[in-house]
Structure 1
Amino acid sequence: MNVLERIRGGLIASCQPVDGGAMDRPDIVAAMAQAAVAGGAAGLRIEGIANLRAVRPCVSVPIVGIVKSDLDDSPVRITVRLEDVRALAEAGADVIAYDATPRPRPASREAVLAETLRLGRLAMADCATVADARAALDGGAAVVGTTLSGYTAETEGLHDGPDFDLIAAFRALGKGFVMAEGRINTPELAAQARRAGADAVTVGSALTRLEHVTGWFAAAIRGA
């Protein structure tokens, strides 16, 4: 069974702790990943080479790998350099996700996609719009995700929650594996994303960012 069939209809647990937080250690990320798989995750999304190297020997499920960078001259953060692609492939990522918006960055979105395919990995396009998805699919990306909807100047503030309309629009394209991702923080929203047309659903903060989830409960209790 190929990678996409293994995750179709399933949950992808994004094991990305708060940067610099108490849980931001490769050994803890590996434990998070194993716990997520034990709970039923069909796949994982892992950020950073050290974290990926720690997780890969511990699990057999497919892994979507990314490297985040903070650039002075670009808002793009997700897999922005060709050397990031090569490092992710070497560390064992089955799928490499990249920022598929047209915004400037060290290596163009087309170059990152081409390098991913050259290395024999599946490419996941983290998109903000239908135009992003079309360009990615035309270039050979296997997966289109709604990851960046709400996080670009063009889409900021359009949705408080998940972008179900974009999920449906990706499904209507008639090709590519559709990944719902972004602000999906309850089981009900995850199910709704699937019904909107997602082949699989990625959930991050609600599963693996303990500081955020604790803050949600603390704020609700204080407000009551």
Structure 2
Amino acid sequence: MSRNEQILQQLRGGLIVSCQALKNEPLHSSYIMSRMAVSAKEGGAAGIRANSPEDIREIKKAVELPVIALYKQDYEDSEIYITPTEREIELLMAENPEIIAMDATGRLRPGGITLEEFFPKIREKYPHQLFMADCATFEDGMNAQKLGFDIAGTTLCGYTKDTKGVSLPNLNLIRSLTEALKIPVIAEGGIWEVADLQLIMKEKVLAAVIGTAITRPREITRRYVDSI
């Protein structure tokens, strides 16, 4: 079994916990994210999703779990912020992540570059790296498979102009992708309840990602406060 097959096997049927905190969040700290990852591992997580080379470096020191790495960066000329350019990929590659995730929607990347122009060059440069396509729609997932991504995720459904307001988790999208794609599908986005996760895992997904509901106490608190 190849290294990439072993990574996918480790994730199969499991829960991936997203350990992220942006600069405007109280828990913004690579050390804190590493402890979040340890907590997730002790709770039974199969993998970690993490943002930035610094956080990934600390997390990989703390846990021996597959890491889905991304690097959120804002550019004035693009709506894309999840691993938008080759520079972010190079910085992530230096941390030897098991998987690298990037925006795989139809939106233009910085400099007006399309995914069709961007990803084939990345695939050629890093032929043995696992790449995850963060998708918003069924069409995104089909295109990602065509371009040579290894995994499709439903990460961006609800976060693009075309999908804003869609009820999450989007079980219909998850089901459609698992039925149509030959590459593995990771369910992500809006999973708050145990019942939601149980329904999702009945589909043919590789794994599911939960972030906010586990690792963002400010948002968890706000959800409860808003209810009263």
TM over 0.5: yes
For 1:22 and 1:49, how far apart are their aligned partners in 2? Answer: 19
1:11 match: secondary structure = strand
1:150-182 per-residue CA deviation (whole Å, 9 max, x = no partner) reads 1111111122x2010010111111401110000
Counterpart in the other structure of 2:38: 34
Of 49, 52, 68, the residue aligned with 2:53 is 49
Of 188, 191, 194, the residue aligned with 2:198 is 191
Q: State the Cα distance separating 1:218 from its structure 2 match.
A: 2.1
Confirm or deny: 8 A CA contact 1:145 1:179 kept in the other structure. Answer: yes
1:96 match: secondary structure = strand
1:27-65 per-residue CA deviation (whole Å, 9 max, x = no partner) reads 000000111011000000000111111111211110000
For 1:180 and 1:114, how far apart are their aligned partners in 2? Answer: 26
Specify whether residues 117 and 143 from structure 1 end up closer, same or farther in structure 2 by C-alpha distance, changes over 3 A only: farther
Tell me, yes or no, if structure 1 residue 10 matches structure 2 residue 41: no
For 2:121 and 2:218, how far apart are their aligned partners in 1? Answer: 37
Of 123, 135, 144, the residue aligned with 2:152 is 144
Counterpart in the other structure of 1:20: 24
Counterpart in the other structure of 2:141: 133
1:191 match: secondary structure = helix
For 2:119 and 2:23, how far apart are their aligned partners in 1? Answer: 24
Q: TM-score, normalised by structure 2?
A: 0.91
User: Map of 1:41-190 to 2, 5 A cutoff?
Assistant: 41-106=45-110, 107-110=113-116, 111-112=118-119, 114-116=121-123, 118-119=125-126, 120-159=128-167, 161-190=168-197
Structure 1: tracts of 5 or more residues without a match? none
Q: State the Cα distance separating 1:190 from its structure 2 match.
A: 1.2
Alpha-carbon RMSD: 1.5
1:128-168 per-residue CA deviation (whole Å, 9 max, x = no partner) reads 11111111111211110111111111111122x20100101
How many residues are aligned here? 220
Counterpart in the other structure of 2:207: 200
Q: State the Cα distance separating 1:116 from its structure 2 match.
A: 5.0
Percent identity at matched positions?
33
Specify whether residues 109 and 203 from structure 1 end up closer, same or farther in structure 2 by C-alpha distance, changes over 3 A only: same
1:79-123 per-residue CA deviation (whole Å, 9 max, x = no partner) reads 001011111111121100000011011254242464156322101
Specify whether residues 15 and 118 from structure 1 end up closer, same or farther in structure 2 by C-alpha distance, changes over 3 A only: same
